[in-house]
Amino acid sequence: MKSKDRNYFKILRAGINTTYQDLGRNNLYHIGIPFSGAMDKRNFQLLNSLLQNDYNSPVIEFAYQGPHLKYFGKDIFFCISGNVSFKIITKEGVIDGNSYQCYLLKNGDEVDIHSTNKSVYGYFSINGTFSVDYYWGSCSINTQAQIGPNNGNKFSKDLEIEIIDINNSFNKRKLDYLGSTIENIRVIKGTNYDYFSESSQNKFFKESFKITKLSDRMGMRLQGPKIENIVDPNIKSEGLVKGVIQITSAGDPIIMLSDHGTIGGYPKIATVISADYDRLVQLTPGSNIKFKDVSLEDAETLYKLYQMETNNLIFQIK
């Protein structure tokens, strides 16, 4: 391909943990490969809807500090979802951008994604398709197992992000949305709930836990009152799912997130409900959270309501 026919971004600064993500890969737990995929599925869905892309199109996920990208090619639109501060640098000057709003980029323009505000993950995409390779039906990068495009590694400086397809019939759209936050994380009691002393069970639901810096796409480590195990600090290793809260031998909770190890041997005290997962992963280290116990039936209803809310937001895109 001649260079003048190319449409691509050059990464001037990669950011802290910038990867391609989509909805992730299914039915591979039995060989040790987790779902992966966008951590915050609502913001993933909103972004592809705003850009009129296919619902499972690849997007660029970033955490805390995002990438600084320079664009080369014919006119294109981009959009960012999440609670994100970014600047658009053009020949006319520099402007502050707003999330959930589409912007035009011309050859030589730059997007500098400074940070996510009071949140962890943000998403960037275009009215088109990034050129990515698929591994087991997904382009999600799992850096732990080195699976995915870019040899399974996060983005680095000078990487060139190729675009294979631009939707020319695209019209600029936007959504008025401030995001949704949460303080209480709702959970269902786990299969080893009775491994813990009654006073620890009470503490688990009454006291708050701090999210530590040891948190990433694999898991979130919490600090708070020690949870006392009165049966056995280990179980025979068995399958995990995202949202499971294990208690380590030291008595601290650890929540499994999208890139988690597929089996584990710590007892499970509870599991975060599906309706609260997107908002859980957006909580920054240092935040305090409280767990609230809900029934399975309520969790199923709450998930339906959460999905309806997402669909309403998609409907409001204009």
Partner 1 sequence: MIKNILNLGDAALYCDFGSDVNQEINSNVIKYFYHIKKLNLRGITNLTPSYNKLIISYDLNIHSFLSLKKKIENIEIKENNKLEKNLIKIPVCCDNNFALDIKRVENKLKLKSEIILEKFFSKNYFCYMTGFVAGMPFLGDLNQEMRLKRLETPRVKVPKGSVGITEQFCNIYTFETPGGWNILGNTPQNIFDTSNQSNPNLVNPGDTIKFYRITLDQYNEIKR
> Rule CB under 8 A: is residue 264 a binding residue for partner 1?
yes
Q: How far apart are CA 113 and CA 127, in angstroms?
A: 18
Segment contacting partner 1 by CB under 8 A, of 8-16, 101-109, 119-127, 300-308: 300-308
Using CA atoms, how far residue 143 sits from 69, 101, 116, 173, 179, in Å, is 21, 30, 21, 33, 28
CB 245, CB 253: distance < 8 Å: yes
CB 245, CB 271: distance < 8 Å: yes
Task: Output the six-digit token pair for 96.
Answer: 């502050």
Residues from 103 through 162 that contact partner 1 (CB under 8 A): 135-136, 144-147, 152
Widest pairwise Cα distance in the chain? 69
> Rule CB under 8 A: is residue 29 a binding residue for partner 1?
yes
Task: Output the six-digit token pair for 74.
Answer: 């014919």
> Rule CB under 8 A: is residue 303 a binding residue for partner 1?
yes
> Rule CB under 8 A: is residue 218 a binding residue for partner 1?
no
> Rule CB under 8 A: is residue 231 a binding residue for partner 1?
no
- Treating both helix axes as pointing N-terminal to C-terminal, what angle do 296-315 and 274-281 enclose, rounded to 10 degrees? 60
Q: How far apart are CA 165 and CA 128, in angstroms?
A: 5
Select the residue interacting with partner 1 from 159, 166, 182, 188 (CB under 8 A). Answer: 188
Segment contacting partner 1 by CB under 8 A, of 88-96, 116-124, 257-265, 282-290: 257-265
Q: Which is nearer to partner 1, 33 or 220 (CB)?
A: 33
> Rule CB under 8 A: is residue 32 a binding residue for partner 1?
yes
Element (H, E) at 310: helix 296-315
Q: How far apart are CA 49 and CA 129, in angstroms?
A: 13
> Rule CB under 8 A: is residue 239 a binding residue for partner 1?
yes
Q: How far apart are CB 125 and partner 1 at their closest, in Å?
A: 23
Binding site for partner 1 (CB under 8 A): 26-33, 35, 135-136, 144-147, 152, 188, 190-191, 236-241, 243-244, 261-264, 268, 271-274, 296, 299-300, 303, 307
